Amino acid sequence: MTLALLTTLGTLGSAVPLAHADGTDDLKHKHQDVQAQIEQAQESAEEASKAVNRAKSDLATAESQLADAQVSYAGAQAHVSDVQAQLADAQAVDAQMQAALQAAQADLAQAKAEVRAGQAALDAQQQAVKDSVVSVYQQGSPELMAWTGYLQSQTPSDLIRKMEYADTLIEDQNTVFDQLHAAELALRAERDEVRTAEQAADEQADRAAQQLVNVQQLEQEATEAANDALLAQDQVTLTVAARAKAQRKAERAKRQDLEQLEKLKKQEARIKAQILAAAAADQSAGYVGDDDGFLLPPVTGAVTSPFGYRIHPIYGYWGLHDGTDFGVSCGEGMRAAADGKVLSRYYSPVYGNRLYVDVGKVNGHALTVVYNHATSYRVDVGDHVTRGEVVGYVGSTGWSTGCHLHFTVLQDGTAVDPMNYL
């Protein structure tokens, strides 16, 4: 709607058919004053529209950033949950490792105690053996003493008694040696158990130490993940605030733009009344005949956006596109659609370089054609042009996203579908 109104206002103000107003100076001066006012209003509206575009761009960026921040926050939260679950598992394993380590250490302590007890028993056995050996050397060999006793026996009963004594003495010595051997074997086994327990305790300590490192790493990762989640949450908060700010900025720019357009609409009503009055003063018949084909297509390009209602490019509502867009390359020549006279040529912040050509009356209606977004023009105000003459060159000046010609036809000051005349 904004672009349509600005085009209409700009063209209406310039399309006053001076050639049909009996050349009155008063109307010329009014036309010039109104044209200047419209140009100033156009510039203000253009700045407001640009502000809207910037605000809408900021809003779109903020919305995109908000979506990214929300995804990042969700991912960070999921990562925190995952790391915390891993940490809980690791802490449980660590507790088991510590319990196993304590058990291994207790087994080692028990084995060492048994070694100490075994060593004491062995020492006692060794001392008994020493005493027995000393006694043997002091008293002589037990076997020799037994045989001596046997020979000195006086009676059979005395012989039997001495034989029993010798056997007991020999058995006691054998028992001492057997106990010593058993103590040595037991001590050896207990020392083997100590070595096994020490190895098990060392291995358990290594596993517990590694598990502790894993737990510490997971704790650090959990802390970092929590911080990342907090930062992501802060980013979401900041982005929401930025989005709200962009929204307010867009609404404010839109409000200012619409206020300016409301003023322009009032001016439009006054200008159109002047144009109609000037047209009524023209008593010539002009062209009478078939409208179709009266105008020559200004360029050879295809139609990229027809005349009619469409979604407004700024505000998104349904509005009038007051001309026909032709897709052509920059620099291509634009032809005069009919014989006529150049009424106005100037630069508009919205439509770039503009040219208005009065082509006279057609079936009783004052007809004006308008060329927009040109790179440059070859004709100037007051020049007469002939049908097919190159009047300028296609461009992308003003509010344009690419090379094209926006071609407008005004019928009695009101924009109509150019295709009705092409």
DSSP string covering 359-406: EEEETTEEEEEEEEEESEES--TT-EE-TT-EEEE-B--SS-SSSBEE
Percent of the chain topping pLDDT 70: 66
Span 388-417, pLDDT tens digits: 999 999 999 987 888 999 999 999 888 999
Give per-residue burial for 103-139: e unless 16+ CB within 10 Å, then b: ebeebbeebbebbeebeebbeebeebeeebeeeeeee
Mean predicted confidence (pLDDT) in 64-69: 74
* pLDDT of amino acid 411: 93
* pLDDT of amino acid 297: 97
* pLDDT of amino acid 355: 93
**Cα–Cα distance measured from residue 24 to residue 33, given in angstroms and rounded to the nearest whole number:** 15
**Cα–Cα distance measured from residue 319 to residue 421, given in angstroms and rounded to the nearest whole number:** 22
* pLDDT of amino acid 300: 93
Mean predicted confidence (pLDDT) in 237-266: 71
Span 193-251, pLDDT tens digits: 888 888 888 888 888 788 788 888 887 888 888 788 778 777 778 777 877 887 787 77
Mean predicted confidence (pLDDT) in 43-66: 64
Per-residue confidence band for 170, with pLDDT thresholds at 50, 70 and 90: low
Average pLDDT, the chain: 75
* pLDDT of amino acid 161: 64
Span 128-164, pLDDT tens digits: 666 665 665 565 555 555 556 555 656 666 656 656 6
Structure tokens at 102: 């304590």
Structure tokens at 225: 């993940």
Domains in the chain and their CATH numbers?
22-281 (1.10.287), 285-422 (2.70.70.10)
Give yes or no for residue 378 having a pLDDT over 90.
Answer: yes
Give yes or no for residue 7 having a pLDDT over 50.
Answer: no
* pLDDT of amino acid 146: 56
Give yes or no for residue 50 having a pLDDT over 90.
Answer: no
Task: DSSP letter for 112, please.
Answer: H
* pLDDT of amino acid 197: 81
Is 73 in contact with 229 (CB distance < 8 Å)? yes
* pLDDT of amino acid 24: 47
**Cα–Cα distance measured from residue 14 to residue 342, given in angstroms and rounded to the nearest whole number:** 10
For helices 156-281 and 2-14, angle between their N-to-C axes, nearest 10 degrees: 20
**Angle, CA 292 vertex, CA 286 and CA 296 arms, to 5°:** 80
DSSP string covering 201-222: HHHHHHHHHHHHHHHHHHHHHH
